[in-house]
Amino acid sequence: MAAEGVSSRSARSTTGGVVVTPTRIPGLLVVDLPVHGDNRGWFKENWQREKMLAAGLPDFGPVQNSIAYNAAAGTTRGFHAEPWDKFVSVASGRIFGAWVDLRDGPSFGEVFTIELGPDRAVFVPRGVGNSYQTLEPDTVYAYLVNDHWSPDAEYSFLNLADETAAVDWPIPLSHAVLSDKDRAHPRLADVMPVPPRKTLVLGADGQLGRALRAELGDAPHLEYASRADFDLTAPDARHWRDYGTVINAAAFTAVDAAETPEGRTDAWAANASGPAALARIAAAHGITLVHISSDYVFDGAAELYDEESPLSPLGVYGQSKAAGDLAVQTAPRHYIVRTSWVIGEGHNFVRTMASLAERGVSPRVVDDQRGRLTFTGDLARGIRHLLATDAPYGAYDLTGTGEPAAWSDVARLVFSAVGHDPVRVTPVSTAEYYADAEGPIAPRPRSSVLDLSKIEATGLVLSDWRRSLAEYLSAPAR
């Protein structure tokens, strides 16, 4: 497993001369830096964000710069796997660097080594154990990190002499300068792998939240918070650098109640102020924020809406959701997943129609609102797909596929599927349906049909909503 050089994958460079090259350890990058010298000495741009991002370095958001000085050649430190990303460069002298992947996953135990001087740096992702041996006296190296050092930070360690890693140290460890702590670190077989950054799912008690738990599972790095556990309007104080992803499946969805004075306040707090607070947290800590949006951000006047369609909400619910979308866009790493007509576990339109059919009730159902059903299992699968494939950040429409239909058509399909005459469903206009309603009624978009071409281009295969409906009704109710 010992390494001797960078990956064979092609390097990426910019006209500024910065070259970023991948290694065999995923995320560990070698950065060649232009050094300009004359009779006075030399100069380099040790960290130049614009050039380095263009060359392929991640925008990891450093917040602290530290410098280490070693007087003697052979001074050796490591292996330390730290809970932050790290950009290591040399100011004076030369060092031999060795890295071992201590992250939980298929690359655990992978090794990479290389010499570093002033013209070369290395980006070390969180959880990769790093070690440095000075090759010259009076060596100085610096490192940028994207979290502030804390005595409470949790590290993982590997013994420098581990036989599995089998690092060929230029200066044998028997002649090197080591600390007692580094001599006592465990062998690879006894190392506890570093788990991935945490994923927090908000709204875990809702239809989509339950589907996300079924899709993602219950690994230790996954956290699920219900509305009672996490106040979206006042996010709790966590060590957010431990989190890599927040999926916001929480929302105020009572569209008619949102038209009341109290409901308006609650809708704006949950759907706009809450996502804005999450966006600020995500931007500050390098978190990927996944936010669930709605077809109600459009007025429904067009036949089809895509991700670039201008927002045009009609009612308070739609207005608050649109405001939340705009706030989430301020997070550099965000996915806005826009959906419609969501069906999952618990009370929903499909279960209501099936119950009415079985109880002999013949309902009136609106026929002038058109869209496609979206089942929460498919929605959760789509969210996982975007995260797993590192799809470009931005907004994505995600519903079932197939020919759009009216709510009355859906009701008739339900009646047929549960063995009842679909003629019992009477189509009516939205105006007729709500003619005798008491209290405020929110305006509904007449068309909720979303263009799915963008998310399909990422490789996600969507399900036909009619087939999903049949499968949903054939499964035991939950």
DSSP string, 283-332: HHHT-EEEEEEEGGGS-S-SS-B-TTSPP---SHHHHHHHHHHHHHTTSS
| Peptide bond between residue 108 and the one before it cis (omega within 30 degrees of 0) | no
* Average pLDDT per 10 consecutive residues for the chain, totaling 478 residues: 44 67 96 91 91 90 93 94 94 96 95 96 96 96 90 88 96 95 95 93 95 95 90 78 94 96 96 96 94 98 96 97 98 97 93 96 96 97 97 97 98 97 97 91 97 98 96 81
- pLDDT at residue 231, as a whole number: 80
At 436 the pLDDT is 87
Q: What span, in angstroms and rounded, lies between the C-alpha atoms of 235 and 468?
A: 36
| Contact in structure between 373 and 399 (CB atoms under 8 Å) | yes
> How far is residue 278's CA from residue 147's CA, in Å, rounded to a whole number?
18
- Asked if 313 and 322 touch (Cβ cutoff 8 Å), the reply is yes
pLDDT in the model for residue 437: 86
Q: What are the Cα distances from residue 135, in Å, to 37, 147, 239?
A: 22, 29, 37
Per-residue confidence (pLDDT) for residue 478, from 0 to 100:
59
- Confidence at residue 229, expressed as pLDDT on a 0 to 100 scale: 87
376-394: burial string, b at 16+ Cβ within 10 Å, e else = bbbbbbbbbbbbeeebebe
Residues involved in catalysis: 80, 143
Contacts of 95 (CB under 8 A, 6+ apart): 115, 116, 132, 133, 134, 135, 139, 141
Domains of the chain: 12-190 (2.60.120.10), 198-474 (3.40.50.720)
pTM, two decimal places: 0.87
Alpha-carbon gap, residue 478 to 468, rounded angstroms: 16
